[in-house]
Amino acid sequence: MGRKPCCDKVGLKRGPWTIEEDHKLMNFIFNNGIPCWRHVPKLAGLLRCGKSCRLRWINYLRPDLKRGCFTESEEDEIIRLHSQLGNRWSKIASHFPGRTDNEIKNHWNTRIRKKLKLLGLDPVTHKPVENGEKNKQEETKSEDVRKDDEIQTTLDGTETDDLLNNYEILCGSLDSSFSKEESNNPSMATQEEDCLKQWVDCVDSFFSWDNFIHLEEQIPFPWL
């Protein structure tokens, strides 16, 4: 007997979310909060499973999300946190208000990992890759990794050394300041609040909330 699925997948929509679906989910959450993800799809009129709704909200629709590219300092911080926490993306994400674990994980897998490889560093251990280890890895590694190495060989030795030094300096300098600066920093909280206000204003001008005023009367919410 396998594990029971999180929901009955029959008749449920999958794949990319449409704008209409996003609107339905956002409208529902703004008006009702998040009572129980399992009930959200039905109450919001969505043919998705609750888990999918939760993911969409957390990774894409949440008002406090900070969209856009990662800055250099953010990347450096991710590298440093990853060296301490490993693949605990949610923990890492908690240090970046407005960023999601999925976003950071994707960024790590598509960019930062390659960057570290170019520096001659093992993305898992954050230590320089030994020649012996390199040979061992050589036997099993995939084509894409091989391409990364080809690029690396185009960098001359001094360039690689410089990059490596910079990385070590960076990690060293940041290590001392870390651990006391957590996400409950008051200035960060204010930033988040401002961001939220802006976003709510934006959404207010976008939606016709009047259509949802009587939602409560139409749907019997069990938690009310």
Interface with DNA (CB under 7 A), residue total: 39
CB of 16 vs DNA, minimal distance in Å: 4
Which one of 31, 73, 87, 185 is in contact with DNA (CB under 7 A)?
87
CA nearest neighbour of 189 among 81, 64, 104, 74: 64
CB of 132 vs DNA, minimal distance in Å: 25
Query: Applying CB under 7 A, does 76 fall inside the site for DNA?
Result: no
Interface mask (CB under 7 A) for DNA, residues 172-201, using x and -? ------------------------------
Q: What are phi and psi of 75, to 5 degrees?
A: -60, -45
Please identify, among the stretches 33-41, 71-79, 174-182, 206-214, the one whose residues bind DNA according to the rule CB under 7 A.
33-41
Query: Applying CB under 7 A, does 42 fall inside the site for DNA?
Result: no
Please identify, among the stretches 47-55, 160-168, 174-182, 189-197, the one whose residues bind DNA according to the rule CB under 7 A.
47-55
Closest CB to DNA among residues 154, 177 = 154
Which one of 23, 30, 43, 55 is in contact with DNA (CB under 7 A)?
55
Which one of 75, 101, 122, 149 is in contact with DNA (CB under 7 A)?
101
Which one of 23, 51, 62, 126 is in contact with DNA (CB under 7 A)?
51
Closest CB to DNA among residues 55, 195 = 55
Query: Applying CB under 7 A, does 33 fall inside the site for DNA?
Result: no
SS3 labels along the chain:
CCCCCCCCCCCCCCCCCCHHHHHHHHHHHHHHCCCCCCCHHHHHCCCCCHHHHHHHHHHHHCCCCCCCCCCHHHHHHHHHHHHHHCCCHHHHHCCCCCCCHHHHHHHHHHHHHHHHHHCCECCCCCCECCHHHHHHHHHHCCHHHHHHHHHHHHCCHHHHHHHHHHHHHHHHHHHHHCCCCCCCCHHHHHHHHHHHHHHHHHHHHHCCHHHHCCHHHHCCCCCC
Alpha carbon distance 23, 25 (integer Å):
5
Binding site for DNA (CB under 7 A): 2-6, 9, 14-17, 36-38, 48, 50-52, 54-56, 59-60, 69, 87-91, 101-103, 105-107, 109-111, 144, 147
